[in-house]
Structure 1
Amino acid sequence: MPSKLLAPAFFCLSLWAAANSVVAAEAGAEGGQPQPAEPSWFDLPGDDLRYLLGASLSYAPSYPGARSMETSIKPMWAARWGKWRLSSSGGAGLMGFGAESIGPGSGASRDLYRSATLRLGLTLRLDSGRRSSDAAYTEGLPDIGRTLRLRLYASKTLAPQWQLSAAWSQDALGRKGGAIWNMDLAHRFYRSSDGASELMAGAGLSGGDGRYMLSYFGVPADSQAAQRLGRSYTPGASFSEANLGLSYTRALSPHWVFNSSLGWSHLLGAAAASPLSERAGGYSLGLSLGYRN
């Protein structure tokens, strides 16, 4: 294994070992008996049409690896009808899918298989790509066209408060988007006695194949960007980022829900080595508010 992949691989294995340790400890303490589901304001049972409308405010790096920070306000929405889900980024979790929001991601999704502890499914979403004229750091780079991404996701409940998830996302139209993968471990630290608020934490790894890394972190030798930067860069498949996150969600009423989040990320491998990356580490802050029926 290349030396640049040893640290991410060790981190990944450490997460898995820690999760298994927690499972064993909790199983021993509980006599191996499954725990009853807790009532919560986040639970929305039934097959009726459910929706959420809201907005999110974020303060984050302008792009992965940027020194500059930017503040943005975006609309947020989500809908669920039976096993079908439609959502923008962050909408599913705020709507109240609870643990169900771990895995599918944004877009149109449907579970293909589900048991008490395991779920598998597919998501289809629009990827807006990139225009080189949108930012100074991409000036002179090839554009990346809009495309559809097909995402296969899986999540496994390791213990009542622990969940492991993984996903593979592929550019379905072959427009230079390549493939992306990620793995995340989430833990619920706290839930109020009335089920109206909870505190979640998570850690994860993500990466991409050669096509994805070349499109988003590469600098073609014949591009104007190579002349501007004084070098070209051709990355290969690599882990691209490690991240940590903390999220607090509270149902202000049966209809209004609030979320605040804090995140930290660190570029890895070929992404960190790219001349487009100004710094490896960065943090983000987020606030969101939504109304659900």
Structure 2
Amino acid sequence: MGQRLWICGTDDRLPRRASRGTVPCLLWAALLALPALAEEPATKPPEKPEELRYLLGLRISSGPEYPGARRQAQGLTPLWALYWGRWRFTTAGTGAMMGFGSEAASPGPGASRDWLRGEHWKLGVGLRIDSGRDSDKSEITQGLPDVPRTLRGRVNLQVELDPKWTLSAAWSPDLLNRRGGAELSVDLGRSLYRSRHASLTLGLGLSASDRRHLQSYFGVPEGSEAAQRLGRSYEPGTGLTGASVNLSYLQALTPRWVLVASWTEGRLLDAAAASPIVETTRQRSASIGLAYRN
């Protein structure tokens, strides 16, 4: 039987004799082309645009008029948060509402973003406005110097000890040097219950401040009107300011509506507790809020 001659092209690598039909020739050409195709870089998928996410709501809260006050103050405050890429802009407590069911909670109020991240830890930085203190707003602090509004920085480290335990520490200095001083806090969180739609978290906290912060918020300058009224002056040094236990509950009513409730039992410690403007070292607060997220 005779054999037919097939020409597969002008490339010298291609055979000039093959079996019947063109299929073997085409397969040979395809095999020769595979190395060249493998060398070509894969097409990189287009990056997703940074998603803009927001949350809006209201919260009813009750807490001491100022740290150490016996009288409780109630109020209605707005809840809002804005996430754009790695940047977060939040009020207190809204980071957990934004992230519930999808990501870890925000490290605190103000503007923040993650700086470094590992498998079980992350380091973040942030900024927030500290409203200071208007001493005339409370009877016990009248006659004390006001504490000016300032800008605070924040460095926050969060470590996941295991799926249920989280340890975090934050340092917050007064960047404008307006008598705000620096604050340090350490918090240990324990997840008591978590489902697709609800979570209950227990938190234990300990805080400390430098001498400048304690003097601004708990000190009584010698010769001041407040020192005459209280019968003595007071100049604290660096030390512990408080310890607290917190319970926080989150409930996703729908994919968009989230309910949050919290209760905190705290106590002033050390130099803060010894201040003559402290009426009681017991600090109790509670709040409940409702918000919509996109």
Aligned-partner Cα distance in 2 for 1:148–1:135: 23
Cα displacement (A) at 1:97: 5.2
Structure with larger Rg: 2
Structure 2 match to 1:95: 98
Letter of the structure 1 residue corresponding to residue 181 of structure 2: G
Structure 2 match to 1:55: 58
Secondary structure of the equivalent of 1:228? Answer: helix
Aligned runs of 1:63-142 on 2, under 5 Å?
63-96=66-99, 100-101=104-105, 104-142=107-145
Letter of the structure 2 residue corresponding to residue 260 of structure 1: A
- Structure 1 runs of 4+ with >4 Å offset: none
Letter of the structure 1 residue corresponding to residue 235 of structure 2: T
Output one character per residue of 1:156-201: Cα deviation in whole Å (capped at 9) or x when no partner. Answer: 0000011000000000000000000000000111112xx1101100
Structure 2 match to 1:189: 192
Cα displacement (A) at 1:46: 8.8
Aligned-partner Cα distance in 2 for 1:292–1:70: 28
Cα displacement (A) at 1:47: 3.8
Q: Which moved more, 1:91-100 or 1:156-165?
A: 91-100
Aligned-partner Cα distance in 1 for 2:293–2:88: 14
Aligned-partner Cα distance in 2 for 1:85–1:136: 37
Aligned-partner Cα distance in 2 for 1:289–1:47: 26
Give the structure, 1 or 2, with the largest relative contact order (CA under 8 Å, sep 6 or more): 1
Secondary structure of the equivalent of 1:211? Answer: helix
Alignment coverage as a number of residue pairs: 246
Cα displacement (A) at 1:108: 0.4
Structure 1 match to 2:38: none
Structure 1 match to 2:173: 170
Aligned-partner Cα distance in 2 for 1:172–1:100: 27
Using a 3 Å threshold, how does the CA distance of structure 1 residues 152 and 246 change in structure 2: closer, same or farther?
same
Aligned runs of 1:35-50 on 2, under 5 Å?
47-50=50-53
TM-score (norm 1): 0.81
Output one character per residue of 1:124-174: Cα deviation in whole Å (capped at 9) or x when no partner. Answer: 011111122121121001111111000111000000011000000000000
Letter of the structure 2 residue corresponding to residue 181 of structure 1: L
Structure 2 match to 1:278: 279
- Over aligned residues, Cα RMSD in angstroms? 1.5
Cα displacement (A) at 1:95: 1.9
Is it true that 1:260 corresponds to 2:261 in the alignment? yes
Structure 1 match to 2:289: 288
Structure 2 match to 1:250: 251
Structure 1: gaps spanning 5 or more residues: 1-44
Cα displacement (A) at 1:66: 1.2
Output one character per residue of 1:226-284: Cα deviation in whole Å (capped at 9) or x when no partner. Answer: 01111000000011000000111000001000011111000000110000111111221
Letter of the structure 1 residue corresponding to residue 144 of structure 2: L
Structure 2 match to 1:153: 156
C-alpha contact (below 8 Å) 1:95/1:290 kept by paired residues: no
Output one character per residue of 1:208-231: Cα deviation in whole Å (capped at 9) or x when no partner. Answer: 000000000000002111011110
Aligned-partner Cα distance in 2 for 1:256–1:63: 32
Is it true that 1:205 corresponds to 2:209 in the alignment? no
C-alpha contact (below 8 Å) 1:190/1:199 kept by paired residues: yes
Secondary structure of the equivalent of 2:140? Answer: helix
Aligned-partner Cα distance in 1 for 2:64–2:132: 18
Letter of the structure 2 residue corresponding to residue 270 of structure 1: A
Percent identity, aligned pairs only, is 49
Secondary structure of the equivalent of 1:100? Answer: coil
Letter of the structure 2 residue corresponding to residue 211 of structure 1: R
Aligned-partner Cα distance in 2 for 1:199–1:132: 37
Cα displacement (A) at 1:94: 1.7
Structure 2: gaps spanning 5 or more residues: 1-47
C-alpha contact (below 8 Å) 1:65/1:276 kept by paired residues: yes
Secondary structure of the equivalent of 1:136? Answer: coil
